[in-house]
Chain A
């Protein structure tokens, strides 16, 4: 089966600019996750979707971050405006059900300068 697709792989932007990341989960996986992984730390959950509904976005900085999952398939994560501390790898993962484990995409490495 095809894996979780993410794009772009790398992005460099200046602070206060906006950026968007895209994720296409594994077909049939109802649950989709966005994580932020800062260098030297474990991934931190930003938002979890079940189909096209939000299950958990308690750690999403909603003043600058937004995410959507139209039609319960693809998802986009947006940052506007970006700050230096947003430099990180943004990982998308999907699962059929949480207890089965997640499949991760390769991530998008964001550098804010």
Chain B
């Protein structure tokens, strides 16, 4: 069975400082991994995805994530936080060998202080 663990339920950073949101996963040998963002009262938006190509993935709004198979991690980073980054972030794993079954993490709430 696959699973996703987002290691921090809340992360607080100051504007202009780096962001790190951590995600560990357990899946088959060929998972696809995603990060989604959800702003208050808004729908889920795809930030970036890893689908077995380059292990360093660049997404929208300056976010990046690195797939590390040896550590089963897919941490999300951004060099400099902006106030508009405050939101809920979800790490998602899709099992490509099981009809694309998806599992969401429980989310990390990012707070950005001025």
Chain B residue nearest to A58 (CB atoms) is B101
- Give per-residue flags for B74-106: 1 if the beta carbon is below 8 A from chain A beta carbons, else 0: 000000000000000010001010011111111
Q: How far is the CB of B45 from chain A (nearest CB, A)?
A: 8
B interface residue count range (under 10 / 10 to 19 / 20 to 34 / 35 or more): 20 to 34
Most buried by A among B45, B100, B103, B104: B100
Among candidates B51, B101, B107, residue contacting A99 with C-beta atoms closer than 8 Å? B51
B96→A98 contact, CB < 8 A: yes
Chain B residue nearest to A6 (CB atoms) is B43
Q: How far is the CB of B33 from chain A (nearest CB, A)?
A: 10
A43→B90 contact, CB < 8 A: yes
Report B-chain residues with C-beta under 8 Å of the C-beta of A91. 43-44
- In the complex, what distance in Å separates the CA atom of A97 from the CA atom of B43? 20
Report A-chain residues with C-beta under 8 Å of the C-beta of B94. 98-99
- Give per-residue flags for B38-67: 1 if the beta carbon is below 8 A from chain A beta carbons, else 0: 000011111001010000000000000000
